Amino acid sequence: MFAATLLGTSSYELEEPGVLAGPAAQLPNVQRELESNGPSLAAPLDPRTPLPPEAHAWVEQTLSRMSLSERAGQVLMVRAYGEYYAADAQERLELVRTIQELHLGGVILFRSQAYEATALIGDLQQAAAQISSVPLLMAADFEWGADFRIDGAVPFPTAMAVGATYNAEAAEWMGRATAADARALGIHWIFAPVADVNINPQNPVINVRAFGEDPVHVGRMVDAFVRGAQREGVLATAKHFPGHGDTAVDSHISLPVLAHNRERLQAVELAPFRAAIDAGVGSIMTAHLAVPALTADSRLPATLSPAILTDLLRTELGFEGLVVTDAMEMGGITRRWWGGQAAVESLVAGADMVLLPPNTRAAHGAVVAAVERGDLPAERLEDAVRRVLEAKARLGLAAGDRGRSLTSLSSRFALALEAEEAQQVADSAVTLLRDRSNLLPLDARQPRRIAVVGVSDNNTSAPTVDLVAALREPLGDVSSYSIDGRTRGDDAAEIVTAVARADVLILAVRVRLRTSSGTITLPSRQQRYAHMLAQLDVPTIVVALGSPYSAAAFPRASTLLAAYGWSGAMQRAAAHAIVGETPIGGKLPVSIPELYEVGFGLERPALDARLQVATTVAGDETSPEAEIVPDLAEAQAILERWVAEGAFPGAVYAVGHKNQLVGRGAVGRMTYDDNAAPTQVDSIFDLASLTKVIATTTVAMQAVERGHLRLDYSARALVPEFAGENKDKVTIRQLLTHTSGLPAYVEFYRDYEPGATGPDTRADVLERIYAVPLEAPPGSRYVYSDLGVILLGEVLTRALGEPFWEYAEREVFAPLGMAETGWLPDPALLDRIPPTERDPWRDRVVHGEVHDENTVALGGISSHAGLFSTVDDLSVFAQMLLNRGSYGHVRLARSGTVGSWVRRQEVVADSSRALGWDTAYGSESWGMFSPTAFGHTGFTGTSLWVDSRRQLFVVLLTNRVHPTRDNRKIRQARIDFHRAVVAAVDAASR
């Protein structure tokens, strides 16, 4: 719209009945297509699809050339960490030596850095190529995105959070996005999704890794994830077969027993695996747990059982893909089986790939020896190797796709699009379990002191940084504290004292999975301190950042939210739900015993924190529920009379009362010509000196609040060119209160040709302002000074390190959605811009360019004039001020900051000035308002006034200087109009 901005068309149309549109949360949209990072595949990843002839030939020819030792290596995988290694680092040398000497089939990546991981993958593929034509399968546990293992990746919601959306498209998106990131790194195989049905709340190893406890629902999500991932060219893995969701023992430590009969297993545990197989899943991972109903042995892990891997998985369920064991170094195996023996037994049972044997060389030797002895049939090993090679062929590895380029990683990995989609899914997952006092949502328009206490299940602080930041954005006054295993009584007492002064307490409880811990619960110490806080006489919101089952520990909490995770996205989602920025619609994918059934979840619509368009309430207006809208007919009639009397050709007004736009209208025409177009409510006016408060004062307020500036800094400290007697004593505060001693106005523009203005004249005008002598000692008297505000604009530009107008567009107008506010309007908008004066200096009617001549000399952009806007944009801005710095879930400044800036400063006796703003104190013209009301006027006939006591704002825009500035009737017209508005508002309030 404006040459000085990047803003588009207006966002303040009536998007829906009764709402003045502005910034609003995006609804979840998980259907966006992601660009594939993978190469064209040799064949679909569905193992039921026959390989093309050339791929089949490669598999058979490669297999026929392999020695027994090479075949034994192809069914083994080792771990690697994607971190920096020197060329002669022992860890690197040993890893390469193992891959080359044993001819390993693959590598699984653990905690890594993105660039280091990609570089390592390329190096390892090159190492493998030196001794074989068979590439490595690179794998990783990307259960909820690459962030599960890769630092710098986008943190996705947990599987249970996705389950809480009950949206299969969300699961498909996560599969696709995860796969795209994997291929960008050079990873071909992801050990995801978890297909376990988490029925047991005490399950210490699955929990939020599962989609839920309903086998049908879990199956739908698994199906969608698998299809999404494999469409992006990555092999997906359903795990942990035949089902690890109803166990209370961590298989990393010991061997769990799944003590259910066949009927129950078929109905519950196996259902999601059947869904995965039907979806064409490429691999299935085994579980280290005993299933006596299938093996008649309570000590035999499924990983080592032919009855489970061959009879059930291969024969009964018809799975044709790759079977991979869970890590063979886990306690569920090692407590009873030697690693070499376990590797052999798993292959005999029907596994095709042995993951992380405790001693890879020993496992390799054991497999070779077992074949030579006949304990492991050669045909069984050949079948396993064939499946490994088929997977590599399907992934395109036979065509030489061994790694990915580092140079293009940033354009393919962890894209901003993923973060946006992840946040949308996270927002839709948050589940409201309880809200007895209807505390949610917290309305930012009602100032509150918020205390956030993170409660951690270990000796590190709970992650609440993103939660607190997301709450501060709309709410402002948010303090944070932490309770963890290190907290002692004195620490807790200090927190209790601080929280007791808060208006709302948010307990963010992090209970997470910790592999090999054997438990998933909040320790008694932290739970005791958390209960102390929850029992204070402070409204409390408990947020479960992790296991939703932790909600059971807070039966007395009045408000309870489940977020299912502690990633930044889930923390922000919880904050969005708390303040009503997004609707709450998640449903429990698991039941919480004795409290909530699966599928439970209270719903809350998003809080529309924008300015509502008032409508008259039908029915008995004398009832307490009736909403009486002020009758502004007389106020509009006054404007029409003043148009008839020639005070201005046209006017547009807006009146807001109690967060409602109770009146908005247009009168008159663009000019006095009979055929002139009528003024419209979307007309764009030259705001003149309203620029001082809408832009400059707001930028200065933010600059001070954010630490870029202080009110009592010397202006000369930032602009040394501002030199002369007493100028070193001029402060930012004095520039804002017009007490600097600078003169009111100097007609610099007369020394320039109107058509020759630009950067050179701008610099020249600024230099002349710097040189103007003070007319009075700083702080001694009040003189409304354009020069002081022009100087303030340069001060802001230097303090911010960028032009103040660019900062204003980005940090003020854009966050509020003020898309029709800016300098230098586009000529295409001329038919919406009322002309101003017939200017003798320019020798023409000024139309679509700034009226103020000094601003023209400054290139059309100034801190004292030059801004153009509409009543709708200014209504949003005014409501933000009434809300003490917040609008539409956006906070421009803290409540206390706004309050102090719009308050009369009393810098000079009897001055009515606030910081930048004027006030109604002692004013004859503005005496209809409360003495603490604040506002400003503009020379072209514009004004904005805010009366906080009445919860009222009034915007009036006219082009009273058309055709000449000598027309002064605006003064009485303003008084008459505003008196009528205030009288109507007071009458309605009574």
Q: What residues are labeled active site?
A: 252, 326
Using DSSP's 3-state secondary structure scheme, residue 661 falls into strand
Note the helical H segments in 603-697.
633-644, 690-691
CB of 691 closer than 8 Å to CB of 738: no
821, 869 Cβ separation under 8 angstroms: yes
Name 822's bridge partners.
Answer: 868
What CA–CA distance (Å, rounded) separates 502 from 341? 61
At 220, which helix (H) or strand (E)? helix 215-231
CB atoms < 10 A from the CB of 624, how many?
5
Rounded CA-CA distance 587/596 in Å is: 10
For every residue of 782-804, DSSP letters joined together read ----HHHHHHHHHHHHHHHTS-H
**Torsion, CA 335, CA 337, CA 340, CA 345, rounded to 10:** -140
Phi and psi at 508, nearest 5°, equal -100, 105
CA distances from 710 to 28, 556, 705, 717, 788 (A): 42, 46, 8, 11, 16
Would the CA dihedral through 281, 282, 287, 291 be positive or negative? positive
What distance in Å separates the CA atoms of residue 269 and residue 835, rounded to the nearest whole number?
74
Contact status, residue 563 vs residue 425, Cβ threshold 8 Å: no
**Angle (deg, nearest 10), helices 568-579 and 416-429:** 50
Residue owning tokens 């201005």: 648
- Give the whole-angstrom CA distance, residue 316 versus residue 313: 6
What is the distance between the terminal CA atoms of the chain, rounded to a whole angstrom?
Answer: 43
DSSP bridge pairs for 561: 432, 543
Given a contact cutoff of 8 angstroms between Cβ atoms, the answer to whether 876 and 887 are in contact is yes
Mark residue 916 as left, alpha or beta (left: phi above 0; alpha: psi -120 to 50; beta: remaining).
left
The kind and range of the H/E element at 542 are strand 540-546
Q: Is the dihedral of CA 20, 22, 25, 29 positive or negative?
A: positive
Q: What is the C-alpha separation between 707 and 323, in angstroms, rounded?
A: 59
Residue 594 backbone class (left: φ over 0; alpha: ψ -120 to 50; beta: rest): left
Q: What share of the chain is helix, strand, coil (3-state, %, to 5)?
A: 40, 15, 45
Give the chain's largest Cα–Cα span: 112
Cα–Cα dist 163/586, whole Å: 9
Three-state SS across 874-898? HHHHHHHHHCCCEECCEECCCHHHH
User: Measuring CA to CA, how many Å separate 988 from each of 621, 635, 662, 855?
Assistant: 11, 14, 11, 42
Residue 926 identity (one-letter amino acid): W
Place of tokens 């489940």: 562
**Cα–Cα nearest to 16, from 629, 613, 603, 583:** 613
Contact 55, 342 (CB under 8 A): no
CA 196 to chain centre: 30
Six-digit token string for 735: 């520039």
Q: Beta partners for 143? A: 145
